[in-house]
Amino acid sequence: MSARRIEPSAWIGGALVAAFLIAAPFVLPRFVPQFWVNLIAEILIWGLFASSANLLLGYTGLLSFGQSLYFGFGAYGVALGVTRLGLGILPAFAFGVAIATVVALIAGFFAVRLTWHYFAIITVVFSLIFYLVAVGWKSLTGGDDGLSFSLPPVGKIGDVELTLLDPTFQYFFILAIVSLCFLLQWIVLRSPLGVAFTAVRENATRAGLIGLNPYLIRLTSFVISGFLAGTAGALFALFSRYASAQYLFWTVSGEAVIWTIVGGTGTLFGPVIGAALLIVLREELSVYWEHYLILVGVIVILVVTFAPRGVVGIWRAWRARRREREATPAAAEIANP
């Protein structure tokens, strides 16, 4: 199967977004409070987390409510690596991601044997089990109070000390990691493995008949998804200097699913768009009304009802209609020279 051609407009749009993200910490503080730069960094983290749910739901056809498990393990891996093991920032980050990925492999070994609502249920069960363990094991996890920690320096370049306490360095550290994770997803999804994900999603029986192993393909998708969620959790722990058992609860996974649906399932950047829209909306509405989540819920219901393919789906449909309108006069001119 040949790779799909990327339209010039997509390259232009991607370049504009990349330019904005790179310039944001230097330009935005001139016009708005520093809070908005931090919010963009947080959106990048949550967008990466949502993309982990999208890899399963949008590309492999598995609805997971257990992504919070790997997010929480990534966060706790960083916190415990710093506080208990005395690791530096980068080793603690790698430790958190590795632990989350191993847990995803173990959970996936059992979970991907199931499909449909059975899969969703078992992912919730895994999440609840570890949530209850984390709440009860306060001596290790801090329970509901969580673990806070201070950040050691990342390293030095000459006489310059690199530290995540510097908001600009922290922002670019998060941007770099998230960008690499999305580049990884782009490579995987355009590879034969990505095609296999889609084949299993569409019809696992037929995929098996042509020599694919649906179990191994689902397990691979599950582990990659856990890696992405764990990376997001590790980044969030570094961003907030905090890890809590609450991040293991299944409702955190529910938010990722909602962001994915609003942005557009089965699209690379749809989850980030969905996360950005709802997080910004939440921040703006919370200033004026304490029950802002009601309005957020109404907006989600409207999107699911009238635009089931999400924001990216609306954009693609508009682009398709525009191309049809442009093609119709040209076809008529050819038919009637």
Q: Which pLDDT tens digit goes with each residue over 80-111?
A: 999 999 899 999 999 999 999 999 999 999 99
Say what percent of the chain tops pLDDT 90.
63
pLDDT of residue 2: 40
For 181, the token pair is: 């994770």
Residue 273: Cβ within 10 Å count = 22
Spans of the chain below 70 pLDDT:
1-10, 328-337
pLDDT of residue 5: 55
Q: How far is CA 174 from the centre of its chain?
A: 13
d(CA 129, CA 52): 21
Q: Which pLDDT tens digit goes with each residue over 236-254?
A: 999 999 999 999 999 999 9
pLDDT of residue 161: 78
Are 48 and 230 within 8 A, CB to CB? Answer: no
